[in-house]
Amino acid sequence: MADCLFCKIISGEIPSKKVFENDKVYAFYDIAPQAPVHVVIVPKTHIESANEITKENSSAVADIYEAIPEIARILGVEKSGYRIVNNCGKDAGQTVFHIHFHLLAGCVGGKMY
Ligand code: AMP
Ligand code: ZN
């Protein structure tokens, strides 16, 4: 996607602080961290949001969740714990319309539900 910030980060056109990469997934430090550890995890394929997940492209979500344990180990939070957040759409505060999952750790606080 020509005009997508995260596609540009994945391609290297916009710099980022990489945490993890494989052929399907890219993870990088959030530019405005909301927790002591705040990483954004994206599929390399452009999908706008959770609303666009289908039977055909849902493997992109599995690819993310398969990478999460390794990303947590790299960050050293696999034992202390972390929260995975996906914001979908305006009311959830989604600002970048390339589906992504926030990994938040450090002092995330209590449950949100
Ligand atoms: P959301 O608000 O859920 O759409 O998440 C988008 C996230 O991308 C926000 O937490 C931003 O701080 C983060 N962000 C925006 N631009 C960049 C960038 N250039 N590098 C790293 N993170 C970014
Ligand atoms: Zn994109």
The enclosing domain of 31 has a CATH number of: 3.30.428.10
Query: Does 21 fall in a domain?
Result: yes
Question: Residues 20-40: pLDDT tens digits?
Answer: 999 999 999 999 999 999 999
Query: Does 111 fall in a domain?
Result: no
Residues with CB under 5 A from ligand 2 (ion): 1, 4, 6-7, 46, 98
Range of the domain at 43: 5-105
**Residues above pLDDT 70, as percent of the chain:** 96
* Contact predicate 26/46, CB 8 Å: no
pLDDT of residue 112: 66
Examine the pLDDT at 109 and tell me if it is beyond 80.
Answer: no
Pocket test for ligand 1, best of 96, 97, 98, 101 (most atoms within 8 A of CB): 96
Structural domain count, the chain = 1
Query: Does 113 fall in a domain?
Result: no
Gap between the Cα atoms of 10 and 43, Å rounded? 9
Q: How confident is the prediction for the chain on average, in pLDDT?
A: 95
